[in-house]
Structure 1
């Protein structure tokens, strides 16, 4: 009976003093299992306490002198036990209703403790502490109204306080653990969302990078095509062999330009660009001679001066940047200085960096052909590329009046 008296006190847990109850969700299989267990425990306690109250004990006969009191006590316990099925929806309300029972009812002790525990778990700590204080106060009356035979008043009261505080500590522990699990789950979901965002950003950056690469290639090919077409227009009486050769170059350049354009459109339209998707081989420093030869075929006088030491040790990214810089320089020369000789100079060594310079005479007079259209962003893209690589870029007329495009790229020593 002493333990029963002590348990009763927790009933005051009436709970969540002001926290709004969360929107009720449908019970899960685990919820049904836990609620059924709590119901059976409370029902078992009601049966045990009822049989104990009905036993021929002089002390109990003094507390419950009439049979209807025993029946009423059992009914109170059964009502509280049935109320456990609604504790998830109205924990605070049930706690407030059952609080007065903590002063005299033994059969409702188990149900009151369970409701109190629910309030502690699902309400703020301040609310739980307020309910605990009310429960401790109620426990003072329980020891007076239902004294336990053989135990003084203060012993029963202290036991009630201890059990109440134990339930409070257990509830706070469960609440903290659930919050920790929820926090870890939210962190995991946030990390997954951030990872997906990083993947999406990486894909977008990759699409942008490929589109920028294809812009350089496409501008180069279109300028070649325009140059040959202009030559045919300017020399309609050229020998048949030259016309056929120029037409073949135009056809090949147009075909390559269409292929490049198809790739650009495919990249920009792609919803997903997987890292393992195959990518066309990127040019390196070793592809410069072919680029220069292509320009010479188009009728551009190009002088390549390669003074790079240990080119096989040049990083691939640096070699690709050099290729794009030279490609842009030759494209600009064809657009703005048609017929001018172009000098391409390369020099550098590991640890000293790599310098590239494209120089051509400034055009004199009006252009005789139709100007080659362009976006005007080629040098902007090259400047961005060089800046990202940690290098320097210069372009404009020098002291001799020539147009000069020069860049320096870092080449770390091995």
Structure 2
């Protein structure tokens, strides 16, 4: 198919076109009746009537050829009174839907047709009055059409802005969901990493201690079973959150820190805990402190199983919270692991700081300072 594709006329378009056609037809009949008193031949009156009705019929096609029909209307109105109403509608259509340049050309064409009309119809009124009155009507119609056009453009602009705002909001929501999923991935690393470290330690103990007593084997097996069950439960929670459109992974709290230390002790890692942090701690700061201790204990289980670990968590409102995990690490490298990189980012997010490395005594030290508002 060639040419411009036009949308199918809607029910509203049919109603509007019918009303406009009826208005133009009524106007044509009234103007024709008024023009019968002009000193012109009956043949011209007949052509006037037929031309006016024909131009009214063309209004059904004004959306497809607005400029062409408006120029045709200017030609017909050089001699026809009955075509006046339809021509006004065509001029208005061009003004609303076409560029300003087309409107200017159509207006000038109709202005010229008015001058020719006064010579052909030989009106009783002075030609200046006829021309001035006709031009004023056309100018009023053009002004009204320009107002309608500007109002439509304003509404379209507002709709476009609303669409853009909706798109931006949707993208921001997707970005927020992406950040949430990234946070969930970190939580999965921290939680499952600790659980699996416990499994590894006890499984290794069973493998390398064939002389262990039945009681020791049973205790280690029970810890392995409980840790595996809890790891599976944590994994189910993570998968459930990832599948859901909106949700949060259950987060540990600062109050759970002694429980974490006790579970690590049960895994066979001697932990000395210095815990002195009275007062309400902000939730995000407390959770960060928990994750730092958890990562330190997990690393101790990996790199120095069975060696004593010192954990210090002290602070007060207004002074900040100090978190420190020290353990022997004879074979530990000081390079950044993914867990330590994540901890550094966590500390920075709460406006704290974190450092790690070997002490002069050769131990590995993980330390952080976190803000604690007064």
Q: Does 1:196 align with 2:170?
A: yes
The alpha carbon displacement at 1:146 in A equals: 2.5
Q: Which moved more, 1:32-41 or 1:124-133?
A: 124-133
Candidates 257, 262, 284, aligned match of 1:293 = 262
Candidates 43, 57, 63, aligned match of 2:25 = 43
Tell me how large the CA RMSD over aligned residues is: 2.0
Report matched runs for 1:80-99 at 5 Å: 80-99=55-74
**2:355 maps to what in 1?**
394
Q: Does 1:71 align with 2:40?
A: no
1:381-413 deviation digits (Å, cap 9, x = unpaired): 111111111111101112332211111111122
Candidates 22, 27, 30, aligned match of 2:12 = 30
Once residues 379 and 135 of structure 1 are traced to their aligned partners in structure 2, the CA distance between those partners, rounded to angstroms, is 81
**1:306 maps to what in 2?**
275
The alpha carbon displacement at 1:84 in A equals: 0.3
Report matched runs for 1:13-412 at 5 Å: 23-54=5-36, 57=37, 60=38, 62=39, 64-65=40-41, 67-149=42-124, 151-268=125-242, 270=243, 272-274=244-246, 277=247, 279=248, 281-310=250-279, 313-363=280-330, 376-412=337-373
The alpha carbon displacement at 1:281 in A equals: 3.7
Once residues 369 and 56 of structure 2 are traced to their aligned partners in structure 1, the CA distance between those partners, rounded to angstroms, is 83
Once residues 55 and 359 of structure 2 are traced to their aligned partners in structure 1, the CA distance between those partners, rounded to angstroms, is 96
Does the 8 Å CA contact 2:275/2:313 hold for their aligned counterparts?
yes
Once residues 204 and 22 of structure 1 are traced to their aligned partners in structure 2, the CA distance between those partners, rounded to angstroms, is 44
1:163-199 deviation digits (Å, cap 9, x = unpaired): 1111111111101111111111122222222222222
1:295-318 deviation digits (Å, cap 9, x = unpaired): 1001111111112232xx101111
Does the 8 Å CA contact 2:184/2:249 hold for their aligned counterparts?
no
Give aligned pairs, total: 369
Task: Please list every run of 5 or more consecutive structure 2 residues that lacks an aligned counterpart in the other structure.
Answer: none
Once residues 331 and 17 of structure 2 are traced to their aligned partners in structure 1, the CA distance between those partners, rounded to angstroms, is 93
Q: Which moved more, 1:345-354 or 1:387-396?
A: 345-354
Does the 8 Å CA contact 2:271/2:311 hold for their aligned counterparts?
yes
**1:5 maps to what in 2?**
none
Once residues 290 and 48 of structure 1 are traced to their aligned partners in structure 2, the CA distance between those partners, rounded to angstroms, is 96
Q: Which moved more, 1:288-297 or 1:341-350?
A: 341-350
1:8-59 deviation digits (Å, cap 9, x = unpaired): xxxxxxxxxxxxx9742222222111111111111112222333344xx4xx
1:103 is paired with a residue whose SS is coil
The alpha carbon displacement at 1:98 in A equals: 2.2
The alpha carbon displacement at 1:114 in A equals: 0.2
Does the 8 Å CA contact 1:211/1:267 hold for their aligned counterparts?
no
Q: Give TM-score scaled by structure 2 length.
A: 0.93
Once residues 335 and 133 of structure 1 are traced to their aligned partners in structure 2, the CA distance between those partners, rounded to angstroms, is 90
Q: Give TM-score scaled by structure 1 length.
A: 0.84
Does the 8 Å CA contact 1:352/1:410 hold for their aligned counterparts?
yes
The alpha carbon displacement at 1:339 in A equals: 2.4
Does the 8 Å CA contact 2:326/2:363 hold for their aligned counterparts?
yes
1:86-142 deviation digits (Å, cap 9, x = unpaired): 011111121122221232221101001101100000011232223223332332222
Once residues 63 and 212 of structure 2 are traced to their aligned partners in structure 1, the CA distance between those partners, rounded to angstroms, is 94
